[in-house]
Amino acid sequence: MPPTVLVVQNTALDPTGILGEELMNCGAQLVTWLPEQYPQPPVGDYAGLIIMGGPMGAYDDEQFPHLSRTVALIQQFHREDKPILGVCLGAQLIARAFGSNVYPHTTPELGFTPVTVVDVAAGEPWLKDCPADLQLMQWHFDTFDLPASATLLMANDTCQHQAFRIGTKIYAFQFHLEATAEIIASWQAMESDWIQANYPGLAQQFQTQVKAYGDEAIAFARQVAQAWFALLPTPAALSP
């Protein structure tokens, strides 16, 4: 049987995209929890946990009670030594689960921005041959303090904490490595008045950037998915 992964999809607008597609190509089965529809995650014997992005703040438990439940899931999967992967809000929730603060960033990141590899990350298989000028999709207004137990893997000048690892099985990415052209288009449709006022022409910018950087970003996401899939225990290993 294929390994089954629980996906916390914080909003219908941020599915697993290319990340989920590649994990399924590798042989994973994804079970998605959409808290907008169901207050509790589906019960199951999962090999790993993925937490996707969303528009809510990482500490907005009063309005979004599932956030504290997600933090508890991160801590549970960590205790069980199972792989965890977080994207954007998911990365921030991992930081929260390990005792770090999440707070508004001084400069929002919207669109593709350059992300570089930190020297200590040389041993990561998904960073092998990573382009020095890699541009990855961003859509976030918050950032976080790096957990004390974390190793910083990727950074940029605008927001230092772009990717980190805790131990050998927990990976967090501030950027949206899952994003496809279709997902990005759906985010454009939800632009706020603030974005329209402060980022005029963002829709055209996205279209230009997707054409210029989309293929390389997708190839990078597939490398991450393949490396993370290799961490998943087999169903036999999960049996008591």
The confidence band for 185, taking pLDDT boundaries of 50, 70 and 90, is: confident
CB 154 within 8 A of CB 162: yes
Chain segment 52-106, per-residue pLDDT in tens: 999 999 999 999 999 999 999 999 999 999 999 999 999 999 999 999 999 999 9
CB 90 within 8 A of CB 133: no
CB 16 within 8 A of CB 178: yes
> Domain 4-238 falls in which CATH fold?
Rossmann fold (3.40.50)
Q: Is the C-alpha dihedral spanning 106, 121, 172, 15 positive or negative?
A: positive
* 20 CB-near residues (< 8 Å, 6+ apart): 7, 30, 50, 178
Strands 163-166 and 150-155 turn out to be: antiparallel
Tell me what the pLDDT averaged over the chain comes to: 92
Average pLDDT over residues 187-191: 74
Q: Where are the domains of the chain?
A: 4-238
Whether pLDDT at 211 is above 70: yes
Q: Is the C-alpha dihedral spanning 87, 88, 90, 95 positive or negative?
A: positive
Higher local confidence (pLDDT), 113 or 129? 113
Per-residue model confidence (pLDDT) at position 120: 63
What's the rounded Cα separation, in Å, for the pair 41 and 178? 22
- Residue 172: phi and psi, rounded to 5, are -130, 135
